[in-house]
Amino acid sequence: MRWYEALRSSGVLGINARNARFISRYNPRRLFPLVDDKIRCKSLCREHGIPTPELYGVVEAHGDLRRLSQYLEGHEEFVIKPARGAMGNGVLVIAGREGDRYRKASGVLLDEREVRHYISGILSGLYSLSGTVDRAMIEYRVQRHPLFEPISFGGVPDIRVIVFKGVPVLAMVRLPTRKSDGRANLHQGAIAAGIDIATGRTTHAVQSNRLVEKHPDTGGPVLGVTIPHWEEILRIAALSHDMTGLGYIGVDVVLDAEHGPLLLELNARPGLAIQIANFQGLLHPLEKVERIDTRRLTLDERIELAYRIRSPLPSPEPAPAREAVSG
């Protein structure tokens, strides 16, 4: 089985190995609610001084809907989302008001009754992971950083960092496209660009399992982009481990034009596509970190460690592509 050996020698982490070797060993089940509930996660962040988008209000029950206009008062733009939603599902982005009505990011106008109905759907568990009742949160709408203007379409890009035992091991930025409907969702067609941990520069980019160099909608180059505030992003990612106690997490950070990096959410079962985005397997860096007792290390030492264990730096030039691949 040559393919099997090829994947193994590239250090690709498969789903079975991720679940058995990392998630089940380093992520105790009892800690999952800390990250699955975004409201709990947010208040935890506040305690640990990690910046997050400002929370305007929480709709706990259908009765609270009467006070909705109170929550929304004074906010032109905001985001409504379920506390326990998965993969960015159930997120409603309001980009402005027109009289009594609210304008969605897509330009569609909603009246207050429709917004209430939407929230009521969230409360009854429409988007929640297990279909149980949920809470709806209303929060600050993140402003796209000017750096990302030329390389995203629609929504806000987000940065995913895989953190193992408090050490960032692999990172990527997800760039929304027209194909992904402006969402940073990879399997709908967003671009995934791998980021070199040491420099914060994008080195390799993929859309739907194809290599890309330019954003298909804007034409902006997606390689060689240096992410601003990179070290702060790494710090936020590494701190998320201390804050939750989870050993293997995916940390999602957004870059706000005004407030800089904000932690958006944490994922206790992060996906594996980040390996394709970086053209680099997770297994080798994970194994290196596994051998080190990181509990004795300070935050700075762990960031330092992250710089050191990253794989040999790929050339900042576009990654070598094979024009025609046979077999």
Partner 1 sequence: MTPRLFAVAGAFVLSALGLIAYKVVALGYEPWPKPAPDRWSVQIEIPLELRSEESDVAFFLPADGPTQRIYDERVDAAGMGFFIRPRGPNRIGMAIGRPEDGARLTYRFSVRTRPQPVDPIPEAIPAIADSEKKHFAELLSSTPTIQSESDVVAALLDELAIEPSNRALALRQIHEFMVKDVETTDGREGPQDAVSVLQAERGGSLGKARATVALLRAVGIPSRVVAGVRLVDSGPGEVVHWVEARLDGRFWPVDPLGGALGFLPEERLQLHVGDGPAVETKGAEAGYRVSMLRERETQYQIYRRRVSNSDRLLDKLSLYSLPVRAQLLYRVLLLVPLGALVVSVFRNLIGVPTFGTFMPILISLSFRESGILWGLLLLTLVVTLGWFGRHLLDRARLLMVPRLSFLLTLVILIIAGLMVLAEHFGWHRAITTAVFPIVILTMTIERLAIAIEEEGPENAAKLVLGTLLVSVTGYWVIANDQLQHFVFTFPEIHLVTLALLLLIGRYTGYRLSEWARFRAFRRGGLERAG
Binder among 31, 32, 60, 279 for partner 1 (CB under 8 A):
279
Task: Give me the least distance between CB of 278 and partner 1, in Å please.
Answer: 10
Told to check if 125 binds partner 1 by CB under 8 A, we report yes
Told to check if 188 binds partner 1 by CB under 8 A, we report yes
Binder among 52, 177, 203, 207 for partner 1 (CB under 8 A):
207
Task: Give me the least distance between CB of 120 and partner 1, in Å please.
Answer: 7
Task: Give me the least distance between CB of 82 and partner 1, in Å please.
Answer: 12
For residue 242, the surrounding DSSP H or E stretch is helix 230-244
Distance CA 285, CA 263 (A): 24
Q: Which two tokens stand for residue 27?
A: 């992520």
Q: In what order do the strands lie in the sheet with 78-82?
A: 55-59, 136-139, 78-82, 92-98, 101-104, 109-110
Binder among 7, 91, 109, 110 for partner 1 (CB under 8 A):
7
Of 125 and 228, nearer to partner 1 (C-beta) is 125
β-pair type (136-139, 55-59): antiparallel
Distance CA 131, CA 129 (A): 6
For residue 256, the surrounding DSSP H or E stretch is strand 248-256
Distance CA 162, CA 30 (A): 20
Give the interface segment with partner 1, choosing from 39-47, 52-60, 97-105, 123-131 (CB under 8 A): 123-131
- Gyration radius from the chain CA atoms: 20
Task: Give me the least distance between CB of 135 and partner 1, in Å please.
Answer: 15
Give yes or no for a contact between 35 and 41, defined as CB atoms under 8 angstroms apart.
Answer: yes
Of 71 and 127, nearer to partner 1 (C-beta) is 127
For residue 126, the surrounding DSSP H or E stretch is none
Give yes or no for a contact between 94 and 141, defined as CB atoms under 8 angstroms apart.
Answer: yes
Query: Looking only at residues 88 through 117 of this chain, which bind partner 1 when binding is defined by CB under 8 A?
Result: 89, 117
Task: Give me the least distance between CB of 8 and partner 1, in Å please.
Answer: 8
Distance CA 131, CA 151 (A): 35
Binder among 83, 93, 212, 305 for partner 1 (CB under 8 A):
212
Binder among 58, 109, 124, 217 for partner 1 (CB under 8 A):
124
Q: Which residues bind partner 1 (CB under 8 A)?
A: 3-4, 6-8, 10, 12, 14-17, 20-21, 87, 89, 117, 120-121, 124-126, 131, 187-188, 206-213, 216, 272, 275-276, 279, 281, 319-325
